[in-house]
Copies of this chain bind each other. A is one copy, B any other.
Amino acid sequence: MHHSAGYVITSGPDPPSCCLSHSVPPVAMAAWAVGVKAVLLDVSGVLYDSGGPAGGTAIPGSVQAVNRIRESGLKLRFCTNESQATRGQFVQKLQKFGFSISEEEVTAPGPAAKKLVVERGLRPHLLVHDDLLPEFDSMDKSNPNCVVMGDAAENFSYQNLNRAFQALLNMEKPILISLGKGRYYKETDGLKLDVGAYMKALEYACDISAEVVGKPSANFFMSALAEMDVKPEEGALTSQVCKKALMIGDDILNDIGGAQRCGIRAVLVRTGKYRPSDENHPDVAADGYVDNLAQAIDLLLSSKVSR
């Protein structure tokens, strides 16, 4: 990867030695924090852990961290692959946990898939969570010519997977659209298989490749940047779109790898689905590693203040 001049990408939380020599507390000078004007936040595993009767629990310090981003004047957008509910229901849940968040601030794969299906005149067979169904209410679903799958959770039954498979095999040219391709995520009672695992099952059975809507798709990150009016650097390469933006997530491939391929810096939190082996991933190195969102925002705002 090519790094242009002006900032240094570190592969860990340690600051470059030049900073240490000025006797500034190291925590204040994370290289990834310099010059950030806009923050993209993953939600599950960063703001809260899903699962349980209440639908999840906030991760300590995250409610305050979101408030501090707002107070700082940084631009903010939530960039999630969650597809277990409409965007409205999702936001209501987060508000109950105490988060300051509105529906208009969320980039989610459900609306993106809906847009794609409408644009191409497709008739979807749905393999999604019951709570996402309203997103597709108005659509013609007769004689389906594509399958749209999201994180269907309990709806990932043997019967429903067979039905989606049979629908695909009945199509002249099977089209499978997947809301994300995550491997797993953390719920309060343990790790759960995400939509990507079931996507692979259908891809293999039908010998096809899915079209992924959501992270790590570059289109999805670009939409999120556009929606908060962050524009590519002047003269930037397509692969180096915006150094002013920072992604914070718990998924080394979909959050960190995906953002970096768009030229967005990306920091991994040690919450949610994080596992220590993520810090030695063979393909992706984050620009920084932090214990949680609160620490990321500490470092980010300290950097802002110190300049």
Contacts and interface: CB of A to CB of B under 8 A. Distances in A.
Interface stretch (A159-167, A221-229, A237-245): A159-167
Given A158-B156, A191-B169, A198 B196 contact: no
A200 B204 contact: yes
B204 A183 contact: yes
A155 B157 CA distance: 9
Contact of A162 (B161, B165, B193, B202): B193
A158 B154 contact: yes
Interface string A135-171: 0000000000000000001111110011001100100
A206 B191 CA distance: 11
A18 to B, nearest CB: 37
Contacts of A196: 204-205
A63 B165 CA distance: 31
Contacts of A162: 190-193
Contacts of A205: 183-184, 193-194, 196-197
Copies assembled: 2
A156 B205 CA distance: 15
Contacts of A155: 158
A8 interface: no
Nearest to A277: B207
A201 interface: yes
Contacts of A183: 204-207
Nearest to A198: B201
A196 B206 CA distance: 11
B202 A197 contact: yes
Contact of A157 (B158, B166, B197, B202): B158
A68 B3 CA distance: 73
A93 to B, nearest CB: 21
Contacts of A193: 158, 161-162, 165, 201, 205
Most buried by B among A169, A200, A203: A200
Contacts of A153: 158
Interface in A163-219: 165-166, 169, 183-184, 190-194, 196-198, 200-207
A155 B169 CA distance: 23
A169 B192 CA distance: 11
Interface string A243-269: 000000000000000000000000000
Interface of A: 153-158, 161-162, 165-166, 169, 183-184, 190-194, 196-198, 200-207
Q: Across chains A and B, which 9 residue pairs bring their CB atoms closest together, nearest first?
A: A197-B201, A200-B204, A197-B205, A201-B201, A156-B158, A183-B205, A200-B200, A165-B193, A184-B205
Given A193-B205, A197-B202, 7 more contacts: A162-B191, A162-B192, A165-B191, A165-B193, A169-B191, A193-B201, A198-B201
23 contacts: A155-B158, A156-B158, A156-B161, A157-B158, A161-B193, A161-B197, A162-B190, A162-B192, A165-B191, A165-B192, A165-B193, A165-B197, A166-B190, A166-B191, A169-B191, A183-B206, A194-B205, A197-B201, A197-B202, A197-B205, A200-B200, A200-B201, A201-B201
